[in-house]
Amino acid sequence: MELPQLEKYFQGLTDITDQIAIMNSHYESSPGDSIQEMQGFFGNLVELNWDESEKEYFDLFSSHFTFHLKIVEEIISEAREILNPENREYVKELVSYVKSAEEWFLGLKKKRKSSITAVG
């Protein structure tokens, strides 16, 4: 599978994340749908061969991905401060998402490091 152009690719994820963040405002939102969309995006993301990319590309990917996770963590933190009971399940889903994404990313970095070491 061909690797995407990162800025355009991650703009889609940013748009989804922005929709999720609306749950912490007074505006009408449907975070459940947006969280499902984000999980679907992540499901597709993990199928790509990031570990086989060139160093500069991987570093840029890492920057985009970790920034995304930090934004989701901020959404969680803000939701916890607001304590809207309607968002409780969504916050749990987001926490689970971040945990899974961080575990996957850590595994990806280890896999990449071991494959670079094996080649070098």
- Residue 10: both structure tokens together: 């991650």
Residue 18 pLDDT: 97
**Positions of the chain with pLDDT lower than 50, given as ranges:** none
Residue 1 pLDDT: 59
Residue 7 pLDDT: 96
Name the helix (H) or strand (E) containing 35: helix 31-45
Question: Residue 46: left (phi > 0), alpha (psi -120 to 50), or beta?
Answer: alpha
Residue 113 pLDDT: 85
Residue 2 pLDDT: 81
pTM of the model as a whole: 0.92
Residue 114 pLDDT: 84
Domain boundaries, the chain: 52-120
Q: In terms of C-beta density within 10 A (0-12 exposed, 13-18 middle, 19 or more buried), how is residue 105 classed?
A: middle
